Chain A
Amino acid sequence: DVKVTQSSRYLVKRTGEKVFLECVQDMDHENMFWYRQDPGLGLRLIYFSYDVKMKEKGDIPEGYSVSREKKERFSLILESASTNQTSMYLCASSHLGERTQETQYFGPGTRLLVL
């Protein structure tokens, strides 16, 4: 079974703090993704990576950065947290290959509250 883990289930941070969210997958997947999910807005892609040290902006990259130093690990960084970044953050991974292998597998999510 594919396993995607995220470093925290719940986080409370103060405005202006630097926040690190970590994601690890154990299936040797090439692709990794960071989404945020807000009521009524659905899943929005922040950044994704298709290889070590490679990153691509998603639909809402402003205020975020990412790091992928190892294939299994993808980190999301909030350089200076703001209250509008309060959200559920979801990490996902997928295999690069045949069309049926684009299935994305999600981690349990991190609910971040910025005060």
Chain B
Amino acid sequence: QKEVEQNSGPLSVPEGAIASLNCTYSDRGSQSFFWYRQYSGKSPELIMFIYSNGDKEDGRFTAQLNKASQYVSLLIRDSQPSDSATYLCAAFTGGGNKLTFGTGTQLKVEL
């Protein structure tokens, strides 16, 4: 069973702090990784994707990938209350055009 694991949280951080969201995956054949944000009652929206080892930055968001450790993370700098949401990690393994999703980490940014 190919799995993507996330801590369900909630992860609470104060406004302005760095939020660190983590994800591990079991299938070494996974090629690409995606981070989605989902507000309560809404559908997931893409934040960013990464497929090379190292860091990828987009505004306040940085995705980190370590294929040797099978680990993906998302850092959110200068966290805002509007960042409070559930963050879904997903992996693409190249077979069947499917993504495998984790169950998500709930982030709460407190004033």
Contacts and interface: CB of A to CB of B under 8 A. Distances in A.
Interface of A: 31, 33, 40-43, 45, 48, 50, 56, 58, 90, 94, 96, 99-100, 102-109
Interface in B13-31: 31
B49 A94 contact: no
A31 B43 contact: no
28 contacts: A31-B97, A33-B98, A40-B103, A41-B103, A43-B88, A43-B101, A45-B98, A48-B97, A50-B97, A56-B96, A90-B43, A90-B44, A94-B97, A99-B92, A100-B32, A100-B49, A100-B51, A102-B92, A102-B99, A103-B46, A104-B34, A104-B46, A105-B46, A106-B45, A108-B42, A108-B43, A109-B42, A109-B43
A61 B103 CA distance: 19
Given A42-B104, A99-B92, A48 B98 contact: yes
Contacts of B103: 40-42
A102 B32 contact: yes
B45 to A, nearest CB: 7
Interface string B90-111: 1010101111011110000000
How large, as a class, is the contact surface on chain B? Answer: 20 to 34
Interface of B: 8, 31-32, 34, 42-46, 49, 51, 88, 90, 92, 94, 96-99, 101-104
Contacts of B99: 102, 104
